[in-house]
Amino acid sequence: MNASVVLTSAASKRLIAKGVAAHPGVKRALGGGRIVITRGTTNAFVAEELTGAPIDRGAYAAGFIDRCWNVNARVGEMEEIVLVHGRPADETLDQTLSSLAAGDVVIKGGNALDPWGVVGVLLASATGGTVGRYVAAALARGVDIVIPISVSKSIHTSVIDLSQEMGTSRMGLHNGLACGIFPLHGQIVTEVEALHLLFGVDAVHVASNGIGAGKGSVSLLVYGEAAAVSNAYEFVATLHEEADVELAGRA
């Protein structure tokens, strides 16, 4: 059975967040490990799913794109959320970094998804921001990196190639912040993976964007066993009223 669905930007974030919560590595770490939920708009939804409580989504974003490459003016109002055995932990960055080990999970969003499954993370910080804090330590110790990202961020070139051309000091002109881009590898969770994790169905990205309520939306073809497709279709319908993140930026 086939079904076509449209997900608004906010609905996509909620679906992806639920997919992350259903990810086997995340479920294991919730039961007996450490999870670092780095800042980001999609990760705000992930934090809500993993903690079971609403958060101030507008304070949880870091960099974002509006009319330019921008930074959230509210950065610093909320600390990154670290879960130990499923419970929020009150610990310093140094304590978190020194404790990360195999079986733990770092959840990091991205800005671009290339055809080879490499995620691009825009870097405005001279020291690499969140990537600089966590990625090397995670890779060195065998910590899983889970990447929630929408298929709407698909690009048609290589993130690795872009990383050789971009950089804060290479931009003669820039709309908003000058950025580099980091090629991030990990376990990607898009709307497609989320639907498979939650309902056992397959999906294909068929279109992006729209107007009005459809601005930033993605359209998917969902297919599989009739009952599973029906369940997925009905679930997506419940997400249509999901409110998106409102941010304050500075150019």
Check residue 249 and give its pLDDT.
Answer: 53
d(CA 97, CA 93): 6
d(CA 112, CA 43): 15
Q: How many CA atoms lie within 13 A of 137 on its CB side?
A: 18
Asked if 232 and 222 count as a contact pair (C-beta separation under 8 A), the reply is: yes
Tokens coding 211: 């107007």
Query: Could you give the angle at which helices 191-199 and 9-22 cross, rounded to 10 degrees?
Result: 50
Check residue 159 and give its pLDDT.
Answer: 98
pLDDT in tens, the chain (251 residues): 999 999 999 999 999 999 999 999 999 999 999 999 999 999 999 999 999 999 999 889 887 788 888 888 787 788 899 999 999 998 888 999 999 999 999 999 999 999 999 999 999 988 888 999 999 999 999 999 999 999 999 999 999 999 999 999 999 999 989 999 999 999 999 999 999 999 999 999 999 999 988 899 999 999 999 999 999 999 999 999 898 887 765 54
Bridge partners (DSSP) listed for residue 105: 35, 144
Q: What is the DSSP letter of 158?
A: -
Check residue 62 and give its pLDDT.
Answer: 85
What is the value of pTM for the model shown?
Answer: 0.95
d(CA 14, CA 8): 10
Q: Where are the domains of the chain?
A: 2-243
